[in-house]
Amino acid sequence: MRPAGKHTRLALLTGRTSFIVRGSLQAKRPVGDDQSTRAAQAGTPRLTVGCAATANRILPPRLRTENDVKKKIRAIQYGVGPIGASIARLMRSKHAIEIVGAIDTDPAKAGRDLGEVAGAPDAPWGVIISADAQDVLGLSADVVIHSTSSSLPAVTEQLLACLEAEACIVSTCEELAYPYRTYPELAAQLDKAAKDWGVALIGTGVNPGFAMDKLAITLAAVSQRIEHVKAVRIVDAGSRRLPLQKKVGAGMSEEEFRAQVQAGLIKHVGLPESVAMIADSLNLAVDEIAETIEPVIAKASVTTPFLTVAAGQVAGVHQIARAVKNGQEIIYLELQMYVGASAPADTIELRGEPNISLVIPGGSPGDIATASVVVNTIPVILDAPAGLRTARDLPIGFLSPDARP
């Protein structure tokens, strides 16, 4: 059972965006509010306390005013690598969000100001990064932005600690994006823990989370029948962060690349998860989801801000995931992510009634898009039912820099 009353969380609406904020309630009863009081006593719906869709308690009538406790969303940044730093800078630009803490076990970061580590022009922020996760999680945050690893088994204990702190979670862990087929036991464990604590969590980003799954699912809204789904994403890894360039094998020999693929160390994580999300969302029964990973070999020398790939070395990955039913392919996802890609783009094709095609020249802009998806998901996850959620469950949102809590 969820422990009672460690924090009070109040659901508020700002325009069409629902926020849940946590803290003490200090609103005063307005003079002459007899009509609203009578309406509340008569059974008029009142603001709920707790997880947005699961609360069974109600605020007393004296707290029902137009100016009810409008607090900023209290956020913790968990992991301050390149993606975590980008997310922190974006959160800093949002009026509705207050960053109250940061966690990173890297000795080079712990003890330093988050703004300085994130490379923010307005640093310092007065938020000190700590290696003690439990200490920071005790700061009564509404949401934890989690960006430490792509591996769900590696981060499960981190996620459980955040849930126990009664915080919602938006994570960039790719294997959390749709873990039901790959890690069903961990998915069930996290779902139960989130429901026990009355909060919600999601794994999301640009891919998985948008470009090769949510976008196709959204386009299906104008379809009457779908027979086949195809998504192709071409990314110039040379414009991305160093960890990603290493993750796709840039600069390796072909032999080293194939050995690292066999060891599970070189790949873009999340493609099978996107296939599964699409299949379940569009009710496309599948017998098998298969994935192939091949190297892209550089035809000429390519230099990025971080490394140089010589001709004949690996420039990145060519990765394909397919879903098959009765021997027939029904979903095809192809990712080409390598340094020097000359024509980056995102393409979605739905074959059915009618046929639909969408091309985004240049593609969704990588790390910028990942930070955007994560931060724009914050108010959405705060308003979500308790439990493990995915991009297929939740609406697409946009959190304006000027949005008020």
Please indicate, yes or no, whether residues 69 and 199 belong to a single structural domain of this protein: yes
Please indicate, yes or no, whether residues 357 and 369 belong to a single structural domain of this protein: no
Rg value, the chain, Cα: 23
Q: Are 162 and 154 in contact (CB under 8 A)?
A: no
289-298 CB burial, b ≥16 within 10 A, e <16: beeebebbbb
Per-residue confidence (pLDDT) for residue 397, from 0 to 100: 86
DSSP track, 309-339: E-TTSEEEEEEEEEEEETTEEEEEEEEEEET
DSSP track, 19-71: EEEES---PPPPTT-HHHHHHHHTT----EESSTTT--EE--GGG-STT---P
Could you list the beta-strand ranges (E) of 141-300.
143-146, 168-171, 200-203, 225-236, 288-297
Per-residue confidence (pLDDT) for residue 368, from 0 to 100: 92
Minimal CA–CA distance to 205: which of 398, 372, 395?
A: 372
Please indicate, yes or no, whether residues 59 and 20 belong to a single structural domain of this protein: yes
Please indicate, yes or no, whether residues 331 and 198 belong to a single structural domain of this protein: no
Q: Pairing mode, if any, of strands 314-325 and 308-309?
A: unpaired
Q: Are 180 and 172 in contact (CB under 8 A)?
A: no
Please indicate, yes or no, whether residues 248 and 350 belong to a single structural domain of this protein: yes
User: What is the three-class DSSP state of 342?
Assistant: coil
Distance CA 336, CA 210 (A): 16
Distance CA 305, CA 375 (A): 27
Q: Are 207 and 274 in contact (CB under 8 A)?
A: yes
Could you list the beta-strand ranges (E) of 200-355.
200-203, 225-236, 288-297, 302-303, 308-309, 314-325, 328-338, 345-353
Q: Pairing mode, if any, of strands 200-203 and 387-389?
A: parallel
Please indicate, yes or no, whether residues 107 and 174 belong to a single structural domain of this protein: yes
Please indicate, yes or no, whether residues 62 and 104 belong to a single structural domain of this protein: yes
Q: Are 318 and 294 in contact (CB under 8 A)?
A: yes
- CATH number reported for the structural domain that contains residue 162 in this entry: 3.40.50.720
* pLDDT per residue of the chain (405 residues) written in tens, 0 to 9: 444 434 434 333 333 343 444 433 333 333 344 443 343 444 433 333 334 433 433 444 434 344 444 689 999 999 999 999 999 999 999 999 999 999 999 999 999 999 999 999 999 999 999 999 999 999 999 999 999 999 999 999 999 999 999 999 999 999 999 999 999 999 999 999 999 999 999 999 999 999 999 999 999 999 999 999 999 999 999 988 888 899 899 999 999 999 999 998 898 899 999 999 999 999 999 999 999 999 999 999 999 999 999 999 999 999 999 999 999 999 999 999 999 998 999 999 999 999 999 999 999 988 899 999 999 999 999 999 999 999 999 998 899 999 987
Per-residue confidence (pLDDT) for residue 405, from 0 to 100: 75
- Partnered with residue 17 across adjacent β-strands are 14
Domains: count for the chain: 2
Q: Are 326 and 287 in contact (CB under 8 A)?
A: yes
Please indicate, yes or no, whether residues 156 and 230 belong to a single structural domain of this protein: no
pTM (two decimals): 0.83
Please indicate, yes or no, whether residues 129 and 160 belong to a single structural domain of this protein: yes
- CATH number reported for the structural domain that contains residue 325 in this entry: 3.30.360
Final residue belonging to a domain, choices 363, 379, 397: 363
Please indicate, yes or no, whether residues 304 and 332 belong to a single structural domain of this protein: yes
Q: Give the range of the structural domain holding residue 395, as residue numbers without chain letter.
A: 1-205+364-405
Complete edge-to-edge strand list for the sheet that includes strand 57-58: 17-22, 9-14, 48-49, 57-58
- Partnered with residue 97 across adjacent β-strands are 73
Per-residue confidence (pLDDT) for residue 70, from 0 to 100: 66
User: What is the three-class DSSP state of 297?
Assistant: strand
Please indicate, yes or no, whether residues 105 and 238 belong to a single structural domain of this protein: no
Name the DSSP letter for residue 298: P
Look up residue 206 and give its two tokens.
């640009």
Per-residue confidence (pLDDT) for residue 302, from 0 to 100: 94
Please indicate, yes or no, whether residues 144 and 185 belong to a single structural domain of this protein: yes
Per-residue confidence (pLDDT) for residue 244, from 0 to 100: 85
386 to 167, 168, 172, 174, 381: CA distances (angstroms): 11, 9, 19, 20, 9
Per-residue confidence (pLDDT) for residue 59, from 0 to 100: 41
